[in-house]
Amino acid sequence: MGDRERAYTLALGLLARRDHSAAELARKLALKRLPVEVIEETVERLRRIGYLDDQRYARQWAEAALRSGRAFGPRLRLELLRRGVAEETVAEVLAELVPIDSEDALVRTILARRFPAFDPRQSPEGERRRVFAYLQRRGFSARTILNVFHTPEPQS
């Protein structure tokens, strides 16, 4: 089996397990000691046939991260860039997926799911700090967290 066939077969195997950005896929193929030009040809071939699409990958990854509360705001942007998605694609996907006014609602949802008994107005200082730090690590701004902590939950 030649390098081209080997690269294509390896790439299909990786994409069968989960979606990848073009940069991630190229990096993984490089670990198999394939020539750079073969990797570039393989990535371009997979793009042409629609098996590799950074826009689709970024949207799916961002949706999953938002749903699970793993990342939001600057952290979400940083994670997508770290995975090799182009800045323009990241900006486009985030503008589409993250409405500006949704950050408070998402913090409340995460608090309800992850810390159901937590009440920031009645919890001890240590617990408030722990929850605050948890939310900051996920990319929420201090302003948003404090706003949620100090504003009563809206009645539905």
Query: pTM of this prediction?
Result: 0.69
What residue segments make up the domains of the chain, in order of their start? 3-48, 54-97, 102-150
Structure token digits, residue 102: 């949704």
Q: Look at the block and give the residue holding tokens 């390098």.
A: 3
pLDDT value, residue 66: 82
Q: Distance from first CA to last CA of the chain, Å, rounded?
A: 63
Question: What is the CATH architecture of 3-48?
Answer: Orthogonal Bundle (1.10)
Percent of the chain with pLDDT over 70: 95
What pLDDT is attached to residue 103? 76
- In this prediction, residue 88 carries a pLDDT of 94
Q: pLDDT of 121-152, one tens digit each?
A: 888 999 999 999 998 888 888 888 999 998 87
Q: Quick: pLDDT tens for 76-85.
A: 889 999 999 9
| Amino acid letter, 146 | L
Mean pLDDT of 21-32: 95
Q: Taking residues 35-57, report their average pLDDT.
A: 95
- For every residue of the chain, DSSP letters joined together read --HHHHHHHHHHHHHHHS---HHHHHHHHHTTT--HHHHHHHHHHHHHTTS--HHHHHHHHHHHHHHHTS--HHHHHHHHHHTT--HHHHHHHHHHH--TTHHHHHHHHHHHHH-TT--TTTS-HHHHHHHHHHHHHTT--HHHHHHHHHSPPPP-
Q: Which pLDDT score, from 0 to 100, does residue 45 have? A: 96
* 81 in Cβ contact with 113 (< 8 Å): no
